[in-house]
Structure 1
Amino acid sequence: MLPHPTLDKLQTLRLHGMLKALNEQLKTPDIDSLSFEERLGLLVDRELTERDDKRLSSRLRQARLKHNACLEDIDYRSPRGLDKALILQLSGGQWLRDGLNLIIGGPTGVGKTWLACALAHQACR
């Protein structure tokens, strides 16, 4: 049983991020130096972050991507012929919103699947 009635209500409302943040605030001795608005802001920010993280995790799990790749890890210096401007344009996701398909071509072992996973990971975000 939760010792604080507010914690119980947050649990009932499924506000798990706020629940964790309030627990942390209750254990922090100098939290009283913050105003009510600042403390409430911290609680709301934590809840929003928790929900965003949960949503991203769910999307990535459903996508079942082969590689944990992200566009920030692309090395444009290697001689694979990647156009940075094109990758940045694709990362915006407008082609997805327009319902277009993307075909990635190239010889074996150059990272076509990895690039597709990186674009999919970006789309999940």
Structure 2
Amino acid sequence: MNNQTVEKLRNMRLGAMAQLHQQYVKENRFEGITCDEYLALLTDHQWEDRENNKIDRLLKQAGFRQNASLGDIKYGSERNLDKNMFVRLGTLGFVQRKENIIICGASGTGKSYLSQALGHQACLTGIKTLYTVTARIIKRLKLSKVDGTYLKELEKLAKAELLILDDFGLQAFDNQDRETLMDIIDDRHGKRSTIISSQIPVSAWYEIIGGEGTIADAILDRIVNSSHRIDLKGESMRKGILKQE
């Protein structure tokens, strides 16, 4: 009878519940536990297993380059990173409010690490997140226009509750790049949150985006006006013991 119960649980895709029940039967651990308590135990075990699998799936789909954690972030006046402000961002309220974050700083100051730490935390709370290098996603979308999958690829980006665009502005934008960036930003404006990290200060983004100016104005208006700004200072952290980017 117990074997049949275990098999039925597995057929209903309740593997964690089946495994725990089988363990309790094998070890005869039912003494002192009521039916209600046992049912709650099995249910909680299955729930936790599904939540952990969901988190693992979100982390894998996010495509992070680093296993970044909010708990490992180093604060200090030399970095110009306010702990109270960043801890508030770590509660992910900005995602609920559809706000953006811009993180700027010289190479090695920890931009990528900070953005990925926020992304990692988002995955832990069940928020669908996607990390990508800006030039890479622009190139991929450019190729998708050739094979006819452009709109499908844009839809994937739009569905991500949190999109992280790393290394923004390292390469100049041509006309097609500008239009693609505009499509990405416009699809997300007021609907989803985006984190952008860049070595280039925001004051120089207009020139980097380039073009006739209309598209650059539209892009910057959608990105900057609803963004929290972090301008990192100090020397490269790659020179130290703790490597955060």
For normalisation by structure 2, the TM-score amounts to: 0.47
SS at match of 2:66: coil
Match of 2:13 in 1: 14
Q: Render the CA deviation track for 1:74-112: whole Å, top value 9, x for unaligned.
A: 122583222111111111212122222211111211211
| Pair 1:69–1:78, CA change in 2 (3 A) | farther
Query: Which letter does structure 1 place at the counterpart of 2:117?
Result: A
| Pair 1:99–1:108, CA change in 2 (3 A) | same
Q: Give the CA RMSD over aligned residues.
A: 1.9
Q: Show structure 1 runs of 5+ residues with no match.
A: none
SS at match of 1:30: coil
For normalisation by structure 1, the TM-score amounts to: 0.88
Query: Which letter does structure 1 place at the counterpart of 2:29?
Result: D
Match of 2:106 in 1: 107
Which structure is higher in strand share?
2
Q: Show structure 2 runs of 5+ residues with no match.
A: 125-245
Residue 69 (str. 1) matches residue 68 (str. 2):
yes
Which structure is higher in helix share?
1
Question: Is 1:21–1:42's contact at 8 Å kept on the other side of the alignment?
Answer: no
Match of 1:89 in 2: 88
Instruction: Tell me how far apart the structure 2 counterparts of residues 65 and 107 of structure 1 sit (CA, whole Å).
Output: 21
Question: Is 2:76–2:82's contact at 8 Å kept on the other side of the alignment?
Answer: no
The share of aligned pairs that are identical, in percent, is 34
Match of 1:122 in 2: 121
| Pair 1:11–1:85, CA change in 2 (3 A) | same
Superposition deviation, residue 50 in structure 1: 0.4
**How many pairs align?**
124
Instruction: Tell me how far apart the structure 1 counterparts of residues 25 and 50 of structure 2 sit (CA, whole Å).
Output: 22
Question: Is 1:10–1:18's contact at 8 Å kept on the other side of the alignment?
Answer: yes
SS at match of 1:32: coil
Instruction: Tell me how far apart the structure 2 counterparts of residues 95 and 58 of structure 1 sit (CA, whole Å).
Output: 23
